[in-house]
């Protein structure tokens, strides 16, 4: 299932790589990947490079073309050309959906994309499936900060299936689920009854809808009554890579307190918190992050293949 290419594709402001363009033209499955996770803002070197190459290998092994999104030399990219990965690994500018037009207009050299930016670029290119680590959401203390990730609005306005390990654990997860319900975004649990919390398999919050097969997932996308709305497909981190929930909560509380003291807000919160968690877990969070990203890519490949089959 694909969508008509956006006019910005035709104008050249958004460009697909040759491999992605050919896959879309022939009806072969494609999965979009955000690039923030593959930069130092998401994972430290060399884990970021390992994750980038491993996610691409997982998709290609399943017969699916990976489409890493980024902005390079003022052009929004959906799929990278050979040799361009290094620019993503080194990039330090983080772009949400709202930033894409500015990045294009100001011809920035290299910017990595968040969930919101990637969902919008995938939709523009005609890609129906996107794999990431975890989405952003409603932040704790939202009553005073009004800090709500643009990821949620993007999920509500682009017809893309986002495959993730739930939302970042340091967010207000009950409010995040309430927001998605209000926005009309179907939230699915892949063979699981609980909303995942990134490093842990369950947040303790029940998932609205459990699904068992990729055919069910594809049918949910096809049968939405709001055709502009996306679908959130959550898959828990593999059990062998799950972090201890009680120990993690104490570390999260400490990291959130540090962010408050240092007045870290907005887009800077996620890399700040993840960096502290990496320190506090003696690096255990890094292989967990990579493992969940690969797990999500595998499921995204299966969903994209199901959609491409047209069954």
With helix as H, strand as E and coil as C, how does 269-302 read? HHHHHHHHHHHHCCCCHHHHHHHHHHHHHHHHHH
Q: What integer pLDDT is reported at residue 85 of this predicted model?
A: 95
- % residues pLDDT > 90 (the chain): 75
Q: What integer pLDDT is reported at residue 311 of this predicted model?
A: 60
pLDDT in tens, 264-282: 776 677 777 777 777 767 5
Q: Determine the Cα–Cα distance for residues 163 and 136; give it in Å rounded to an integer.
A: 13
Q: What integer pLDDT is reported at residue 257 of this predicted model?
A: 77
Q: What is the mean pLDDT of residues 27-46?
A: 94
Say whether pLDDT at 177 is over 70. Answer: yes
pLDDT in tens, 181-216: 999 999 999 999 999 999 899 999 999 999 999 999
- 85: three-class secondary structure by DSSP: helix
* Inter-residue contact 200 to 248 (CB < 8 Å): yes
Return the top range by mean pLDDT from 20-34, 161-175, 248-262. Answer: 20-34
Q: What is the mean pLDDT of residues 74-97?
A: 95
Q: What integer pLDDT is reported at residue 251 of this predicted model?
A: 75
Q: What integer pLDDT is reported at residue 277 of this predicted model?
A: 74
Catalytic residues: 34, 168
The residues with which 197 forms a beta bridge, in sequence order, are: 166, 200
Q: Where are the beta strands (DSSP E) in the chain?
A: 14-16, 30-33, 65-72, 75-78, 94-95, 110-113, 129-131, 161-164, 187-190, 209-211, 231-234
pTM over 0.85: yes
135 phi and psi angles, rounded to 5 deg = -85, 165
Q: How far apart are the first and last CA of the chain?
A: 10
| Among 49, 19, 91, 67, residue whose Cα is nearest residue 297 | 67
Q: What is the mean pLDDT of residues 95-105?
A: 96
- 159: three-class secondary structure by DSSP: coil
Q: What is the CA radius of gyration of the chain?
A: 18
| Among 248, 234, 258, 235, residue whose Cα is nearest residue 285 | 248
| Among 49, 272, 250, residue whose Cα is nearest residue 139 | 272
Q: What integer pLDDT is reported at residue 245 of this predicted model?
A: 82
Q: What integer pLDDT is reported at residue 163 of this predicted model?
A: 98
Please give the domain boundaries of the chain with CATH numbers for all domains: 7-249+285-309 (3.40.1790.10)
- 192: three-class secondary structure by DSSP: coil
Say whether pLDDT at 260 is over 80. Answer: no
Buried b (16+ CB within 10 A) or exposed e, 219-245: ebbeeeeeeebbbbbbbbbeeebbbee
* Inter-residue contact 241 to 198 (CB < 8 Å): no
- Who contacts 73 (Cβ-Cβ below 8 Å, separation ≥6)? 107, 109, 110
- % residues pLDDT > 70 (the chain): 95
Compute CA distances 244 → 199, 209, 247, whole Å: 9, 26, 6
pLDDT in tens, 120-176: 999 999 999 999 999 999 987 888 778 899 999 999 999 999 999 999 888 899 999
Q: What integer pLDDT is reported at residue 267 of this predicted model?
A: 65
Average pLDDT, the chain: 91
Q: Give the number of C-alpha atoms closer than 13 A to the C-alpha of residue 160, restricted to the C-beta side.
A: 33
CA 122 to chain centroid: 11
Q: What is the mean pLDDT of residues 250-268?
A: 74
CA 9 to chain centroid: 21
């Amino acid at each position: 299932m694909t969508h008509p290419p956006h006019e910005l594709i035709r104008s050249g402001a958004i460009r697909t790589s040759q491999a992605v363009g050919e896959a879309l033209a022939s009806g072969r499955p494609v999965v979009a990947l955000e690039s923030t996770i593959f930069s130092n803002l998401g994972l430290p070197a060399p884990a970021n490079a390992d994750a980038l190459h491993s996610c691409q290998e997982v998709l290609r092994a399943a017969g699916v073309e990976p489409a890493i999104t980024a902005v390079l030399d003022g052009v929004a990219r959906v799929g990278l050309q050979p040799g361009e990965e290094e620019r993503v690994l080194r990039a330090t500018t983080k772009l949400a959906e709202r930033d894409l037009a500015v990045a294009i207009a100001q011809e920035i050299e290299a910017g990595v994309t968040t969930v919101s930016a990637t969902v919008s670029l995938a939709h523009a290119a005609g890609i129906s499936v996107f794999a990431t680590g975890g989405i952003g959401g409603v932040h704790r203390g939202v009553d005073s900060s009004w800090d709500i990730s643009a990821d949620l609005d993007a999920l509500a306005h682009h017809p893309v299936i986002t495959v993730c390990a739930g939302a970042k654990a340091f967010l207000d997860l009950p409010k995040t689920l309430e927001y998605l319900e209000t926005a009309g975004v179907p939230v699915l649990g892949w063979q699981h009854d609980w909303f995942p919390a990134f490093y842990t398999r369950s947040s303790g919050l029940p998932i609205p809808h459990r699904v068992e097969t990729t055919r069910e997932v594809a049918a949910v996308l096809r049968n939405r009554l709001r055709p502009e709305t996306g679908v959130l497909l959550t898959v828990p981190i593999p059990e062998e890579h799950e972090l201890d929930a009680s120990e993690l909560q104490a570390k999260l509380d400490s990291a959130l307190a540090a962010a408050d003291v240092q007045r870290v807000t907005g887009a800077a919160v996620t890399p700040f918190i993840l960096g502290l968690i990496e320190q506090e877990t003696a690096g255990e969070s890094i292989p967990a992050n990579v493992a969940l990203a690969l797990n999500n890519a595998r499921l995204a490949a299966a969903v994209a293949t199901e959609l491409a089959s047209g069954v």
